[in-house]
Amino acid sequence: MTECGSRTYVLNTRPEADAVELTGLFEDANIPVINDPLIQIEFLEGPVPDTACVSGLIFTSRNGVRAYVQRSEFRGLHVYAVGDATARFAAEQGFACVQSAEGDVNSLISLITREVDAKSGELLHVAGSAVAGDLLNSLSMRGYNVRREVMYEAKPANKLGTRTIDAVNNGDLGSVLFFSPRTARTFARLIEGKLKQSQFKCVSAYCLSSAVASEIATVPWRQVHVAQSPTLPAFLRLFAQSGAFRDGDEKRS
């Protein structure tokens, strides 16, 4: 059996803007964090979105909200958000009528079909260049008029950061956090040929969903943890239940 010993660092792979809140929570728990964004968000220039016939906005991430507010000051549309974090962020940006699907793309489709009349007008999905799920086609098949506008691009990183590599090589990395299949897939690609997979036998992976976990399944992790639902609160409960928060406090005491 592998002797893992005491491993200190948590690797936060989220894009820079989304990493701040999570990093703060870990730092409050005295758990040192390495931030190594594996996806870089680039907002695209473009005209103010045409919302003359739009009855509602669809946001599948906080980056969608960021992209929209960079182009438009109009906040008078109903917002349908994939989860609570996106919904809360939209409200903070001045949208008054916001509903959260509290989950993933499938739950967002359910929310819209339950709450929105297909004849009420066009729905505008502010999207990135890479889209998870089949939101547009699923809603179109149900009679909804959905227009997708790509307003940002999510670019995968070309290499791991020096601090990440050092933490792996020195045996200091204890956990890696994955919030999207693309991020997990990028990580698996970047360690191939760069780091020995055996070095991860003492590292645990924490994944937002089973779809995320499937992308790093070939890595011989100590453990792979999957949140019960694809939300930040469920992810934090998962991490707390594993004892990692407690272990972090003990290491610093």
How many separate domains does the chain show? 2
User: Tens digit of pLDDT for each residue in 127-156?
Assistant: 998 776 689 999 999 999 999 999 999 999
Are residues 18 and 59 part of one domain? no
pTM over 0.75: yes
Do 140 and 53 sit in the same domain of this protein?
Answer: yes
Residue 4, domain member (yes or no): no
Question: What percentage of the chain reaches a pLDDT higher than 70?
Answer: 93
Residue 67 lies in a domain: yes
* Residues 164 and 244 placed together within one structural domain of the fold: yes
Measured distance CA(127)–CA(109) in Å, rounded: 15
Lookup: tokens for 60? 């599948």
Tell me the pLDDT tens digit for each residue of 148-191.
Answer: 999 999 999 999 999 999 999 999 999 999 999 999 999 999 99
Confidence of residue 214 (pLDDT cuts 50, 70, 90): very high
- How many other CB atoms are there within 10 angstroms of residue 55's CB atom? 16
Phi, psi of 228 (to 5 degrees): -70, -25
- For range 101-109, the mean pLDDT: 91
